Amino acid sequence: MSEYILVLTTVPDKKSGQEIAQALVNERLAACVTATGVSESCYWWKGKISQDQEHILFIKTKGDLYPRVEEKILETHPYEVPEIIALPLILGYGKYLDWISKETT
């Protein structure tokens, strides 16, 4: 896995996002979590197309922390099957990547 990753998850409301973000940052599983405003999602769920408003969380962390990040998200996430995906950070500003290392366990 990449040394640094960007984990994405969607939540139904601001409060859920804040709870997940606080848990991840407090436990030093993420250096930073950025939440978007309301976004529109269209997706298949239980045999039909659904449309909902969601917030996207951008979680900046280290690749080796992914299993713990996933576990922490699942502890409080309100969805039955939440989106939790990780993208490798191929390149980035060195000082920012150093900061991620410094602020995570």
- The CATH number given to whatever domain includes residue 64 is 3.30.70.120
Predicted pLDDT at 101: 96
Domain count, the chain: 1
d(CA 51, CA 92): 34
pTM: 0.96
Per-residue pLDDT for 63 more than 90? yes
Domain limits at 73?
Answer: 4-103
3-state secondary structure string, the chain?
A: CCCEEEEEEEECCHHHHHHHHHHHHHCCCCCEEEECCCEEEEEEECCEEEEEEEEEEEEEEEHHHHHHHHHHHHHHCCCCCCCEEEEECCCCCHHHHHHHHHHCC
CA atoms 61, 98, 27, 58: torsion sign: negative
Mean pLDDT of 84-96: 97
What region does 46 belong to: left with phi over 0, alpha with psi -120 to 50, or beta?
left
pLDDT band at 1 (very low <50, low <70, confident <90, very high): confident
